Amino acid sequence: MRLAPYVFAGGTAVVTGAAGGIGAALTHGLARRGSSLVLLDRDVAGLATVAGAIRAAHPELAVTTYEVDLADAAATLRAADVLATAHPEITLLVNNAGVALAGRFDQVTLEEFDLLLEVNLRAVVRLTHALLPALKAHPGSHLVTVSSLFGLVAPAGQAAYATSKFAVRGFTEALRHELADDGVGVTCVHPGGIRTRIAADARVGSGVPAAEGEQGKRDFAKLLTMDPAKAAETILTAVERRRPRQLVGWSAVVPDLLVRLAPGSHGRLLAGLTALAGRGRG
């Protein structure tokens, strides 16, 4: 089934991780397009700031906020049940929230690994499962999952994060095929270096030496150059046009191309490009 362009005006969008970064930029972009908003985040103050700004600029729109820590499975399930009951009008779900964990697999504990999966993968699955009936009840609705550059490539030191984002990519791909006949569009987003706090807020494996962890954060932060507002506009355009996959920024496009051209030997090329980009902004 070929879907018509997604209509934002008059719809209701759920956005996770809405208190900052790409999530906050998406909420502003959605409001400008006429969507009412249901916003989730664990950052109460940040969420209130974002919601307040949108209410002031768009008083005609309904803006509802929920404090929820997606690392807490029970809290996520409770939030999912509340959303499904309180917001049957949902027409767009954006699974944007995510956390990072730096360290090789032998430098992180299984508990640290599992906590990342709880936020980046299981919360996506739980919220999507709970809200899918609402989406299916509104033909023309849309589902977005935010994977990552590391859902395309899996560099050393990102075993946990890449595992979660590759899994999100596979989950989304399957849903795209499953929902094709239900009139629900599906987009998987792969952002590259977007200027958010993901590097600064990244967890570091307990087996990573402190100095190494701090240096890794600084190196990672140098690669985060794209304005979140620009990234959000790219994502919302992809939603409107029903694109199944959206790469965001050259730092996602180039690695994706290298993986396609050299599927088994792209690691050194990527490492070289990353080092070059980091030196250029050092």
CATH value at residue 96? 3.40.50.720
Distances (CA, A) of 152 to 105, 118, 170: 18, 20, 11
Coil/strand/helix, residue 42: coil
User: Cβ atoms within 10 A of the Cβ of 197, count?
Assistant: 12
The per-residue pLDDT for 280 is 40
Across the strands, what pairs with 100?
A: none
CB distance 258 to 266 below 8 Å: yes
Is 231 a member of any domain? Answer: yes
CA distances from 217 to 16, 70, 117, 149, 151 (A): 24, 23, 20, 17, 19
Instruction: Give the pLDDT score at 271.
Output: 58
Q: Residues 73-91, buried b or exposed e (16+ Cβ, 10 A)?
A: eeebbebbeebbeebeebb
CA distance 158 to 164: 10
List residues with catalytic annotation.
161
Cα(100)–Cα(86) distance, integer angstroms: 31
Q: Which residue has the tokens 């590759």?
A: 166
Burial environment of residue 183 by CB neighbours within 10 A (0 to 12, 13 to 18, 19 or more): middle
Is the residue at 194 inside a domain?
Answer: yes
Distance in angstroms (rounded) separating the CA atoms of residues 188 and 173: 8
State the DSSP H helix or E strand holding residue 193, giving kind and residue range, or none if neither.
none
How far apart, in whole angstroms, are the C-alpha atoms of residue 207 and residue 223? 24
Give residue 222's pLDDT: 60
The list of the chain residues with pLDDT below 70 reads 1, 195-201, 211, 213-225, 264-282
Q: What pLDDT, on a 0 to 100 scale, did the predictor assign at position 183?
A: 95
Q: Is residue 262 a part of any domain in this protein?
A: no
Q: What are the residues whose beta carbons fall under 8 Å from the beta carbon of 203, sequence distance 6 or more?
A: 99, 100, 101, 102, 112, 115, 116
Is 48 a domain residue? yes
Q: Is residue 136 part of a domain?
A: yes
- Domain assignment present for 168: yes
Pairing verdict, β 63-67 and 203-204: unpaired
**Count of domains forming the chain:** 1
Predicted local distance difference test score (pLDDT) of residue 281: 43
Please count the CA atoms within 13 angstroms of the CA of 145 that sit on its side-chain side: 29
Residue 159 domain boundaries? 12-252
Kindly state the tokens that stand for 95: 């699974």
Residue 234 forms part of a structural domain: yes
Is there a domain that residue 99 lies in?
Answer: yes
